[in-house]
């Protein structure tokens, strides 16, 4: 795409922006290009980088990797579509309990964008494995809390009956 040419044409820029911000219809080019914030280390400035995210091109996918061109499997930023602090903080806490994980943190880059960025850096296992383990552990935890709670309710009810 000839970026310079596009930028000269205000009408075209507006149309691309509408597409990228989900405000209007998308043409073929617009669909392929989606906006994604990129954080440059060392400066607090956030630069917007036009980056191709093939994962989200499939509309119903909810998980993607940011900056795919970075090859290191041990460091990844995952993008969760439609999630917030509810899952973010819980999954961060449980992934941090993994001794192989050096860093795990999450951010919601913009409050009006329903997206969660989760960064994982590990010593030896791949970041994807750390995420998978964390999700499995959180799922087991919540299933176990459900089971324990249901037993507690039954116990409470039978105790009340006796009284």
Partner 1 sequence: MSKSKVKYSSSKEYIDESRNELVLTEFEVLNAEATDFPGNHHGFDDSWSFEKFKKRLKINIVRMENMEIEFDLIGVDPAIPNAFRRILLSDIPTMAFDKVFMFNNTSIIQDEVLAHRLGLIPLKADPRLFEFRAEDDDAGTPEDTLEFELKVKCSWNPQRTKDHTNPEHLYRDFRVLTSHLKWMPLGGQKDIFTPDAVGPVDDKILIAKMRPGHELDIKLHAMKGTGREHAKFSPVATAFYRLLPQVKLLKEVEGEAAQRLQKCFSPGVIDLVDSGEKKVAKVNDARYDICSRNVFRHEDLKEDTVKLTRARDHFIFYIESTGALAPEVLFTEAAKILSQKCRVFLDELKNGL
Residue 55 binding partner 1, by CB under 8 A: yes
Determine the angle formed by the axes of helices 85-96 and 127-162, rounding to 10 degrees.
110
**106 in Cβ contact with 115 (< 8 Å):** no
Q: Is position 62 an interface residue for partner 1 (rule: CB under 8 A)?
A: yes
Return the exposure string of 121-156: e unless at least 16 CB atoms fall within 10 Å of the residue's CB, then b: bbeebebebbbebbeeebeeeeeeeeeeeeeeeeee
Footprint of partner 1 on 76-105 (CB under 8 A): 80, 83-87, 89-90, 92-94, 96-99
Q: Which of residues 124-163 bind partner 1 (CB under 8 A)?
A: 128, 131-132, 135-146, 148-153, 155-157, 160
Under rule CB under 8 A, residue 49 binds partner 1: no
Of 12 and 129, nearer to partner 1 (C-beta) is 129
Helix (H, G, I), strand (E, B) or coil at 38: strand
The binding site for partner 1 (CB under 8 A) comprises: 55, 61-65, 80, 83-87, 89-90, 92-94, 96-99, 128, 131-132, 135-146, 148-153, 155-157, 160
């Amino acid at each position: 795409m000839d970026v310079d040419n596009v930028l000269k044409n205000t009408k075209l820029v507006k149309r691309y922006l509408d597409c990228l911000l989900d405000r209007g219809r998308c043409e073929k080019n617009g669909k392929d290009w989606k906006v994604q914030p990129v954080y440059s280390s060392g400066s607090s400035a956030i630069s917007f980088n036009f980056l191709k995210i093939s994962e989200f091109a499939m509309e119903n996918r909810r998980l993607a990797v940011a900056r795919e061109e970075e090859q290191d499997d041990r460091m990844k930023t995952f993008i969760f579509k439609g999630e917030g602090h509810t899952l973010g903080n819980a999954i961060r806490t449980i992934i941090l309990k993994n001794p192989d994980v050096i860093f795990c943190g999450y951010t919601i880059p913009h409050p009006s964008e329903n997206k969660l960025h989760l960064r994982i850096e590990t010593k030896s296992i791949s970041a994807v494995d750390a995420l998978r383990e964390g999700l499995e552990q959180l799922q087991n935890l919540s299933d176990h809390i459900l089971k324990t709670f249901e037993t507690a309710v039954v116990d409470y009810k039978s105790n009340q009956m006796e009284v």
